[in-house]
Amino acid sequence: MDSRRDFLQKLTFSAIGLPFLSLSGSTLTEAFYKQPYEGPVLRVAIMGLGSYGNRVAEAMQSCKRAKVTGVISGTPSKIKDWQSKYGIPAKNCYNYENFDRIKDNPDVDAVYVITPNSLHHNHVIRAARAGKHVICEKPMAVNAKEGQEMVDACNKANVKLLVGYRMHFEPKTLEVIRMRQAGELGKIMFFQGLSGFRIGDPTQWRLNKQLAGGGSLMDIGIYSINGARYMVGEDPVWVTAVETKTDEVKFKEGVDETIQFQLGFPGGAVASCLSTYNMGNLDRFFLNGQDGFAELQPATGYGPIKGRTHKGELTQPHYTHQTIQMDEMAGIILDGKKPVVPVDGEEGLKDLKIIDAIYLAAKTGKKVDLKL
């Protein structure tokens, strides 16, 4: 298995179509998809035409409020293929050297950065300076210092910075959040997040410290970090962590294989999480309250997500995650809509601060206090 994205794709069923049903906790409704839409559309240039860039573009063909209108890639053959498939004119195609010219292109409102982690910082700041809103894949950067600079650059340019947290719009996830907010689970006491798979090709960029910024924690583990926060409904105040490495050839210095980490929350809840590149079939969230529980398994795959609570099975409809994400993000950028769970740069920055603290805790063996 070559990547997390391959894992997520194979772990769960392929997403087919977009059910026209209401979404619990979301702004999208049955009427929205069934009725003709004539309002503003977010015009997006995709930067990075790899496997996930292709997945996003495919999903956006079902969007009503977002459309792919441009591409940015260092591979001319990929650009040519995308032009043919999505009807993108040559004037909306760029490479990494000349994409600053996008500043003068009225066909693009936002740039979706889907490049290796270490490139996000430069690409987001350049897009912001070009006056374009930015959507950045997670993790937003390789550390909190870079993340803060990205947030500052977007604020200075007066453009929005959003992060590709697709699970923040997923129906079953939103139902668990609704139940927790309504008090149906009682006082939250414990969260468990298991995120892992056995990574394949040892030459891929995800196992390159310079490109990935780390290992499993930067790739799959961030799901449990972010998930702990939106499931518990608080930001953690401390972290402890232990790293385990069994293959120092594949997982070189600075590339974590397995990290177990614990988070403490101000309300008294604790989280126990696992991030790994060397164990399969790990995609589970469990939230325990004094009056009930919620479990998602798979919790973060491409879908359908499956779940149950003390009240029974979760039956909310499956939506293609990237379709609903981009429609919702269009609403955030164009209308100033407020999502149930934030997806802005500040949200991404909090996860980066936690990642920095986890690495520090694993290195020192000490409890690290957090101030998010």
Question: Is 263 found in the same domain as 284?
Answer: yes
Question: Is 265 found in the same domain as 155?
Answer: no
Burial letters 216-239, b for 16+ CB under 10 A, else e:
bbbbbbbbbbbbbbbbbbbbbebb
Report CA Rg, the chain. 20
Domain count along the chain? 2
Helix or strand (DSSP H, E) at 322: helix 321-335
How far apart CA 89 and CA 110 sit, in angstroms, is 17
Whole-number pLDDT of residue 37: 87
The answer to whether 294 and 287 have CB atoms below 8 angstroms apart is yes
Residue 181 lies in a domain: yes
Question: Is 234 found in the same domain as 106?
Answer: no
- What is the domain-level CATH number for residue 116? 3.40.50.720
- The pTM score is 0.93
Question: Is 349 found in the same domain as 238?
Answer: yes
Question: Is 22 found in the same domain as 152?
Answer: yes
Helix or strand (DSSP H, E) at 331: helix 321-335
Question: Is 130 found in the same domain as 268?
Answer: no
How far apart CA 103 and CA 108 sit, in angstroms, is 9
The answer to whether 260 and 252 have CB atoms below 8 angstroms apart is no
The answer to whether 295 and 286 have CB atoms below 8 angstroms apart is yes
46 vs 212, 324, 344, 359, CA distance in Å?
Answer: 20, 17, 18, 31
Residue 234 lies in a domain: yes
Residue 6 lies in a domain: no
Residue 66 lies in a domain: yes
Residue 326 lies in a domain: no
Residue positions annotated with a catalytic role: 138, 223
Cβ-based burial of 20 (10 A; exposed 0-12, middle 13-18, buried ≥19)? middle
The answer to whether 215 and 256 have CB atoms below 8 angstroms apart is yes
Closest to 354 (Cα-Cα) out of 252, 245, 218, 256:
218
Question: Is 162 found in the same domain as 269?
Answer: no
Omega cis (within 30) before 139: yes
Domain boundary among 166, 196, 228: 166
| Long-range own/partner contacts, residues 53-58 (CB < 8 A, 24 or more apart) | 53/112, 53/114, 55/5, 55/302, 55/322, 56/112, 56/114, 56/322, 56/326, 57/82, 57/86, 58/322
Q: Which residue carries 């909190």 as its tokens? A: 144
Closest to 142 (Cα-Cα) out of 196, 205, 96, 209:
209
Question: Is 187 found in the same domain as 154?
Answer: no
Domain boundary among 166, 183, 205: 166
Whole-number pLDDT of residue 171: 94
Q: Compute the Cα dihedral for 248, 253, 255, 256 and give only its sign.
A: positive
Question: Is 160 found in the same domain as 25?
Answer: yes
Q: Which residues contact 368 (CB under 8 A, 6 or more apart)?
A: 238, 239, 240, 357, 358, 360, 361
Report, as ranges of residue numbers, the positions in the chain whose pLDDT lies below 70. 1-31, 33
Whole-number pLDDT of residue 177: 98
Give per-residue pLDDT as tens, 187-236.
999 999 999 999 999 999 999 999 999 999 999 999 999 999 999 999 99
Question: Is 172 found in the same domain as 158?
Answer: no
Q: Which domain holds residue 283?
A: 167-317+344-369
Residue 295 lies in a domain: yes
Question: Is 211 found in the same domain as 160?
Answer: no
Spacing of C-alpha 333 from chain mean position? 17
- What is the domain-level CATH number for residue 188? 3.30.360.10
Give per-residue pLDDT as tens, 52-68.
999 999 999 999 999 99
Question: Is 186 found in the same domain as 301?
Answer: yes
Residue 322 lies in a domain: no
Residue 324 lies in a domain: no
Domain boundary among 166, 188, 204: 166
Helix or strand (DSSP H, E) at 264: strand 258-264
